[in-house]
Structure 1
């Protein structure tokens, strides 16, 4: 058998696998990605991208194309049984609960194949393509403790089979790390004997995608519908498409001999017929009687008992958490998993961080999955039992939707204290919650007064962003003196920039200076050299030349302009540390807890 080595082998080319593969390819980490499917998904599957995932994709430069190709959902409409039969609208709400700090305060929908194509097109210029149809046959993990602790030891052996070859179709891969992103029936999870905790519910749902002929007034909004006939969810899709999630009865799909849902007992016509009954008095039928895609599923809420084996074999996405699709979390949670993992793998493989950094992947993402499962269990139960619970003006589902908007959109996700989340000096930037993602805000460049959203200064390039917030150096000499002193400390060989700056501090750290000084009297080169590595790296908390954008950033972040702050933003854009500007020892201790110093 042919044998080769690779730093990271990814099994599964769905959204989770592609997010990780693309991130590692751009980070110049040797990676291979395999998939058993012979080709791309052409219709159906997952389709919803929430606000935080849009921000993540924006950090990779992928959001604009996604938004351009998608349908945007700005509003949700709730329907209940009408007093005279049929359904009536209860209320409309923002699709993301207000108030929100989301940069993109809406959801977009696009079929999974088109979303995956965006990743494919971004990977190929990096020399990475999907190896398929290929499946893993076996996996072995070394038991040698020395090998397991050595990031360059290639302790994982995977045998692959290339299904499109009749001869020489097996291959041995020696990998440093393996990621199983291979779905709810994950081969990787089973091969590594990782168990799933949780259960399946009794709720059965049918799904159809149609090009609708309808007079339903909220067909281009998220529609949450309860009627005397049952429950339904409507999701507008790209073009004129509409997705319908329709609750089915056991008699429609349960095989009486096995007690399991059997797709062969259902049909898209049955799903459509139930949808039409639920929607009365409104009309809903597919143009040309053509149903684009359909499936059925039983709601289940389960989470893996562990996300890794020896921090060498990892699982992500549906391989480690499953839940109902009605809250639109599957693809979002999957991509967020590997967005969290990719930069950590890069740091370990480059020799910048101790391998223990990888433990934070399970610590951060499994807690989120447990919270998601608990939310989804309540949401799916309430949604599916709406026929019994939502009589008259009962607001229970609407209230749950409103209360959990920050969680379901992803913008409220918070990682707990760990070596890469240190909140001891939170008060210096009170509104930049350590563990949560960096808040978007518009500042202006000191160099040309052009407006810039801070998110666009935080690309997913594996570097830590060091945001140095300082006051007005033109009007306050004390502030100016403190800034000069800070600049000298940052330039010193003992500063964290040099102590952990492998291959040069700019390879690991990107330093940005944000000041309250006025655009009319301040130049970008007025600041110390360590804060002005490039003209684009100096920002002002001031408005643009027409006072249309900018200003109010220090107040929004809860930073005292007379004191300032240092904010460390992780490569995944979560705030890792807030520190006083005169306490570089705090910053040094933060990086020292997981990074390896430069060899002297």
Structure 2
């Protein structure tokens, strides 16, 4: 009889998405909850170079709220500069990756470039500090779902096999998360269709230490090659550089075998008229471009897909790992609250409902961008058939800028998490990212930021923008009366915390400023910029609920109806009846 292990969540896949998923669960689920993560390939700090390299601002923000970004920043190449050259070596401003120079409204206003092997090591060490280690080499070889088991029961029977000894064992889990890549065993075992197509286009990527006469080599750069498409030139961590190019059918005819030597030769040809030589080659690959989406991200009430397991695309816009991180962060706080018995199991269905439309947006952009980078106009192109693909590419990437940076990614208003029935009190609406404004701490007057004070620990934050207290004092009094009788809004056992933001410079005492005890932790908006960024009238104030992942859930007025509005919002998905659990 095989050994049987019981865990709350089994994560399959030890790449960035799987590691970040396991980390969030291990960090937020106290004993006796248990998390297990497996990977079929041995993993170590000696892993191969290559693969994903770039984190955009919103991904960095989310990792910062998880306590992971600082370690990444210690090793990364922080890329704030871009360049674009035409086929003759003349710089053409405003094209290619130019949008990267305008990623504002965040302290992470740059592309964080760090190769995946270094990121994974950071994530593994962080996970280990929470008592969970990556189990490798273990492959998932069978899944059985026991439909008769109810919510939060051990519904999944997973068979895993050691890669060397071939010894099999059984893991019984409440939930299974497939973060096991584009060839996902979890997706295939559950017969989830993977809709989409694969093109005939092939791309090559080469990483290494180089010498060149390119004028701006330590940038995110595009070279409009007449023979190799829109060539990627990306400055990497540790002084390295990535060269990426289209390997056309015409170029392929010159090789009976395509190896490292051939990849380097083509890389040198791709960047002409600039010179290039490799002092060291770290990694290279050739792959086929395509776009696919799993038909379901959540099935049988217990099995999830995340990252490449549920969507694959080209590396043209450098979105693969970023999209997977968005998946992991969206899913995990919801799963934590359900496992803790604080949220209704139906909350888990919002994972697919929120992530799927954004994945479709990415795929649509990627289809256009990947063709344009191969010097082909988009399949649905209705403009000038003789248009310059490089020019159109610049336009498309500029249009996709806020989506690519992640700062403009939103979740549609609904009747659950992103309250569609909110009054017009602010310029930031439910379903949108909560801007990371600068605040001032009381007494010391140190500056801090809202995201620093609202870490992602699977709890909601009620942020009270109190406005100018001299003008809002009566509204604050009625607000206090409105929420005062709702005990679970203040219970230390509830997944809710409070933050108060006063407009104007800080005084000697928050109590005296307010004329009573404030709600939660207090901060000052010294120059009124935080109220302005949120579009809050300082004479009226407003109350925001921030979801654990940093998106706005609802907005309500600062007054007598606030208590009922907050209660109605949370009761849609939290388990609060009788407050027995709180």
TM-score > 0.5 by shorter chain: yes
Offset, 1:124: 1.2
Partner of 2:402: 406
CA contact (8 A) 2:80 2:101 kept: no
Identify if the C-alpha distance between structure 1 residues 400 and 426 changes in structure 2 by more than 3 Å, giving closer, same or farther. Answer: farther
Whole-Å separation in 1 of the counterparts to 2:558 and 2:496:
17
Provide the C-alpha distance between the structure 2 equivalents of 1:402 and 1:187, rounded to a whole number of angstroms: 36
Q: Contact 1:517/1:541 (CA < 8 Å) preserved in 2?
A: yes
From 132, 138, 144, the counterpart of 1:134:
138
TM-score calculated relative to the size of structure 2: 0.91
Q: Indicate if the aligned counterparts of 1:226 and 1:386 stay in contact, CA closer than 8 A.
A: no
**Does residue 31 in structure 1 map to residue 35 in structure 2?**
yes
Correspondence for 2:114:
110
Structure 1 residues 89-137: Cα deviation after superposition (integer angstroms, max 9, x where no partner) = 2115745263632331110111111101111111112110011100112
Inter-partner Cα distance in structure 2 for 1:386 and 1:524: 64
Which residue of structure 1 aligns with residue 259 of structure 2?
267
Q: Which residue of 2 aligns with 1:18?
A: 19
Q: Residue in 1 aligned with 2:9?
A: 8
Partner residue in 1 for 2:382: none
For residues 549-587 of structure 1, the C-alpha deviation after alignment (integer angstroms, 9 at most, x for no partner) is xx4211111001111111000011111111112222111
Map 1:489-508 onto structure 2 (within 5 A). 489-492=482-485, 494=486, 497=489, 501=491, 504-505=492-493, 507-508=494-495
Q: CA deviation at 1:21?
A: 0.3
> Does the residue aligned with 1:427 lie in a helix, a strand or coil?
coil
Corresponding residue for residue 500 of structure 2: 513
For the aligned residue pairs, the C-alpha RMSD in angstroms reads: 2.3
CA pair 9-393 structure 1, distance change in 2 beyond 3 A = closer
SS at match of 2:424: helix
Alignment partner, residue 561 of structure 1: 538
Change (3 A) 1:558 1:295: same
Structure-2 separation of matches of 1:2 and 1:484: 61
1:294 and 2:298 aligned = no
In the alignment, what sits opposite 2:426?
429
Partner of 1:208: 206
The aligned counterpart of 1:355 is: 345
Which segment drifts farther, 398-407 or 271-280?
Answer: 271-280
1:228·1:387 contact (CA, 8 Å) conserved in 2?
Answer: no
Contact 1:95 1:106 (C-alpha < 8 Å) held by counterparts: no
Residue 248 in structure 1 maps to residue 247 in structure 2: yes
Which residue of structure 2 lines up, in the alignment, with residue 157 of structure 1? Answer: 157
Distance apart, 1:254 and its partner CA: 8.7
Q: CA deviation at 1:214?
A: 0.6
Counterpart CA distance in 2 for 1:63 and 1:426 is 35
Q: Give the corresponding residue for 1:341.
A: 331
Q: Describe how 1:227-238 pairs up with structure 2 within 5 A.
A: 227-231=225-229, 232-238=231-237
The C-alpha deviation readout for 1:39-94, integer Å capped at 9, x for no partner, is 23231111111111110111012212211201111122222223xxxx32211574
**2:548: which partner in 1?**
571
Partner deviation per Cα, 1:234-281 (whole Å, 9 max, x = no partner): 1110122000112112265599xxxxxxx9931222222222223222
Secondary structure at 1:510 match in 2: strand
Q: Distance in 1 between matches of 2:103 and 2:242?
A: 28
Shift of 1:392: 7.5
Instruction: Give the number of equivalent residue pairs.
Output: 561
Alpha-carbon distance in 2 for matches of 1:530, 1:508: 21
Contact 1:426–1:433 (CA<8 Å) still a contact in 2? no
- Which residue of structure 2 aligns with residue 379 of structure 1? 369
Residues 442 and 522 of structure 2 are in contact (CA less than 8 Å); yes or no, is this contact kept in structure 1?
Answer: yes
The residue that corresponds to 2:62 in the other structure is: 56
Q: 1:469 aligns with which of 462, 465, 474?
A: 465
C-alpha change, 1:339 and 1:387, in structure 2 (3 Å) is closer
Which secondary structure state, in structure 1, belongs to the residue aligned with residue 539 of structure 2? coil
Per the alignment, residue 548 of structure 1 pairs with none
Matched residue of 1:327: which SS?
coil
Query: Could you say which residue in structure 1 is the equivalent of 2:478?
Result: 485
**Separation in structure 2 between the aligned mates of residue 358 and residue 457 of structure 1, nearest angstrom:** 26
Instruction: Give SS of 2:36's match.
Output: strand
How far, CA to CA, are the matches of 1:27 and 1:467 in structure 2? 22
For the residues of structure 1 that align with 2:453 and 2:219, how far apart are their CA atoms? Answer: 33
The structure 2 residue matched to 1:594, chosen from 568, 573, 576, is 573
Shift of residue 163, structure 1, vs aligned partner: 2.3
Once the two structures are TM-superposed, the CA of residue 319 in structure 1 deviates from its matched residue by: 0.4
User: Is contact 1:78-1:398 (8 Å) kept?
Assistant: no
Deviates more, 1:575-584 or 1:408-417: 575-584
1:533-548 superposed matches below 5 A:
533=520, 537-543=521-527
Which residue is 1:260 aligned to?
A: none
Is residue 226–residue 390 contact of structure 1 (8 Å, CA) maintained in 2?
no
Q: Say if 1:265 and 1:387 are closer, same or farther in 2 by CA, change over 3 A.
A: farther
Q: Tell me the distance in 2 between the aligned counterparts of 1:294 and 1:135.
A: 26
Give 5+ residue unaligned stretches, structure 1: 256-262, 544-550
1:554 alignment partner, SS class: helix
* Distance (Å, rounded) in 1 between the aligned partners of 2:287 and 2:270: 19
Deviation per CA, 1:453-485, whole angstroms, max 9, x where unpaired?
A: 111111011110110111222x33xx2232233
Q: Deviations over 1:186-223 (max 9, x none)?
A: 00000000011111122111111010111111221111
| Cα drift, residue 404 of structure 1 | 1.2
Shift in alpha-carbon separation, 1:496–1:164, aligned structure 2, 3 A: same
Contact 1:496 1:588 in 2 (8 A): no
2:447 is matched with 451
Q: Indicate which of 272, 277, 289 corresponds to 1:280.
A: 272
The equivalent of 1:90 in structure 2 is 92
d(CA) in 2 for partners of 1:251, 1:528? 77
